[in-house]
Structure formats: structure tokens, C-alpha cells
């Protein structure tokens, strides 16, 4: 039986020493605790002892509250250790591998390639399948594309960053931080970076929808794990995507969106891309048809495959090998 110990109280370790059929691991960083949760039957945690990296204590507390794993303070555990261990033995631990913290950005030089729809479908599908915190940040000029697709007036970046009592809207399980560039450009990169990084610490996945280049994306550029450069089979869009991927470097991968039949395949011969996506009717219904493929590439078959139906996962494996046509 696995017990996760997240406390500095040495009396807890004394109580667990020598017990048969029990293994325990120690973790004080929030990220270590999150990664160690699969298979745990009991978590002994003193939240004041934790080091907030890379998640906030608040986010970790929420995940523990939503899970089926009992968690208890060191004081509560030491008052009734046998009772808590018996409760842990009664419960089965969830061994599903949790997706690690990631920040992915959808970017393009070209307009009309569908990056906003891809970003939103990816975020919604992650929330639906993983049931873990996910945020969507927008870097655009002019009107917010995210706000237009949601179809409602929602707090934007300037208001959120400067008014602590204003919370972002959560839509379909996704925390939304849309851009209002005319106001936000007056804020310092340092202030924007602090606010946005605080948002990111509250979420397992952060999805960014970004016009490229953008004057404010430097606030979070160092936090981005993967740049998804979006293109359609149009020759100009493909050429622009290859240039942008080369500019962004090894963290960049081309996503070919709205791919058609044989004609498109011939036109794209020799173009390296990480993911191919077909044209999807009514993509703004957010059914995950596009997002699930992005998440498979982001997290790999072993991790994200656990969150998809097996038949669907088998079909996706055939389509997503990195190749050149």
C-alpha cells in the first residue's frame, strides 16, 4: 500500500516505520506530490510545509479534494494512525498516470488557419477528459477572438491583471484570459508576467492562442513548452509555417489543419509536420475531434491514451506518426 507523506513532522515517519505491506514516499514540492498521486491510498499533508513549485498550494488542494484519495494533516494522522491506515487499505488507489504541467502555444503568421478553434477545442477536451485545471490565454490585436467564439462579455487581461477582486470566467471547465490589447499594452511586461504566471501555476495545462509576432507574449515566452505552428494546405500558409517553425526553434512543430484529400497530399510532399487534422464540420461545438489529436501529440500515447476510448486511441496511433508525404 502506497502512502504519500508531505510534511516535515518526523513523528509521521516514526509511526510508519516497520509497518508491513506499506511503502511511503516523501515529497514537499507541489509538483512532486502531484506526480506521486497515482496509486497512492493515503496522503498525509501539511499544506504550510509545502514548496509551491510548479503548482500553487491552492491548486494542489483542489486536486486532492476532487480525488478519491483521502488526505489528512500530520496532527490528524498521529491522533488515529491505525484508523487512517485501515481506511486507506479499504480504498483502491487510482493508478492512472496524470498529465504533467504543460504550456502549449498555437501561433501563425497567416490568418484564417484555425488556431483559435484548435486552442479552444484542445482546452475544452482536456477539461472534459482529464477533469484537471486548464487555462486559455490569448495574445491578439484588436477584438478578442476568444470572446467572440464564447459569445459573451467576459473580463479581459487588463481588468484581470489590475483588479484583484475580478476573477476570470470559467467556460466549459476552461479558465479564460482573453486579450484587450488597447488597454493591456499600457501595462508593463513585468506586471503582465506576474499575473499570467500566477494563473499558470493554478493549472495543469495552459493553452495559448497567439498572433505572431505579438508585443506582449514576452511576458510568458520562457514558460512555453511547445509551439504549435498552424497552417492549412494553402501554399502561402505552409511556407509561412515553415519559416515560423524555423524561427521558433526546436520547441516548434507544424500542425497542418483542414487537410483534404489526395491533391493536398501531393502539394504537401516534403513538408514535415507533427500533426495532420482534417476539416471538421461544426468545429465550434467543441466535441474534441481536433483537441484529442493535439493532446495525444503533447502528452504521448502512454499518458493521454488513458483518457481516450481504446478504439479511438488505436485509430489515432495510425495517424499521428511524424512523417513526410
Planar angle of CA 147, 149, 151, nearest 5 degrees = 65
pLDDT in tens, 169-209: 999 999 999 999 999 999 999 999 999 999 999 999 999 99
Q: Which sequence spans correspond to the domains of the chain? A: 2-90, 102-319
What is the architecture of the domain spanning 102-319? Answer: 3-Layer(aba) Sandwich (3.40)
Asked whether residue 319 carries a pLDDT value surpassing 60, the answer given is no
Of the candidates 219, 275, 269, 210, the one whose C-alpha atom is nearest the C-alpha of residue 244 is 210
Report the chain's mean pLDDT, rounded to a whole number. 92
| Other C-beta atoms lying within 10 Å of the C-beta of residue 99 | 22
pLDDT in tens, 72-107: 999 999 999 999 999 999 887 788 999 999 999 999
Q: 3-class secondary structure for 103-168?
A: EEEEEECCCCCCHHHHHHHHHHHHHHHHCCCEEEEEECCCCCHHHHHHCCCCCCHHHHHHCCCCCC
Rg of the chain, C-alpha, whole Å: 22
Of the candidates 248, 255, 210, 249, the one whose C-alpha atom is nearest the C-alpha of residue 231 is 255
pLDDT in tens, 62-75: 999 999 899 999 99
d(CA 315, CA 308): 11
Of the candidates 143, 268, 156, 125, the one whose C-alpha atom is nearest the C-alpha of residue 211 is 143
Pick from 49-53, 116-120, 154-158, 319-323: least confident: 319-323
pLDDT in tens, 269-299: 678 899 999 988 888 889 999 999 999 999 9
Q: What is the pLDDT of residue 322?
A: 45
Amino acid at each position: 500500500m502506497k502512502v504519500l507523506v508531505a510534511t516535515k513532522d518526523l513523528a509521521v515517519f516514526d509511526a510508519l516505520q516497520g509497518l508491513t505491506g506499506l511503502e511511503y514516499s516523501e515529497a514537499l514540492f507541489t509538483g512532486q506530490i502531484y506526480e506521486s498521486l497515482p496509486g497512492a491510498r493515503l496522503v498525509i499533508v501539511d499544506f504550510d510545509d509545502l514548496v509551491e513549485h510548479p503548482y500553487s498550494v491552492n491548486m494542489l488542494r483542489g486536486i486532492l479534494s476532487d480525488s478519491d484519495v483521502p488526505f489528512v494533516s500530520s496532527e490528524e494522522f498521529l491522533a488515529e494512525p491505525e484508523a487512517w491506515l485501515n481506511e486507506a487499505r479499504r480504498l483502491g488507489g487510482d493508478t492512472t498516470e496524470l498529465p504533467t504541467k504543460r504550456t502549449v502555444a498555437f501561433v501563425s503568421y497567416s490568418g484564417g488557419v484555425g488556431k483559435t478553434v484548435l486552442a479552444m477545442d484542445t482546452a475544452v477536451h482536456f477539461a472534459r477528459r482529464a477533469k484537471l485545471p486548464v487555462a486559455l490565454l490569448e495574445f491578439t490585436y484588436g477584438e478578442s477572438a476568444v470572446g467572440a467564439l464564447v459569445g459573451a462579455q467576459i473580463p479581459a487581461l487588463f481588468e484581470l491583471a489590475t483588479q484583484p477582486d475580478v476573477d476570470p470566467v470559467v467556460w466549459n471547465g476552461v479558465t479564460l484570459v482573453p486579450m484587450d490589447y488597447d488597454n493591456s499594452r499600457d501595462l508593463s511586461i513585468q506586471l503582465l508576467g506576474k499575473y499570467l504566471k500566477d494563473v499558470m501555476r493554478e493549472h495543469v495545462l495552459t493553452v495559448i492562442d497567439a498572433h505572431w509576432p505579438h508585443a506582449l507574449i514576452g511576458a510568458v515566452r520562457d514558460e512555453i513548452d511547445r509551439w504549435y505552428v498552424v497552417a492549412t494546405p494553402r501554399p502561402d500558409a505552409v511556407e509561412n509555417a515553415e519559416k515560423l517553425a524555423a524561427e521558433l526553434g526546436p520547441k516548434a512543430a507544424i500542425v497542418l489543419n483542414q487537410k483534404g484529400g489526395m491533391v493536398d497530399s501531393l502539394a504537401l510532399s516534403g513538408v514535415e509536420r507533427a500533426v495532420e487534422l482534417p476539416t471538421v464540420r461544426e468545429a465550434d461545438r467543441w466535441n474534441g475531434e481536433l483537441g484529442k489529436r493535439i493532446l495525444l501529440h503533447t502528452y504521448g500515447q502512454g499518458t493521454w491514451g488513458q483518457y481516450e476510448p481504446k478504439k479511438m486511441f488505436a485509430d489515432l496511433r495510425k495517424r499521428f506518426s511524424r512523417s513526410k508525404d
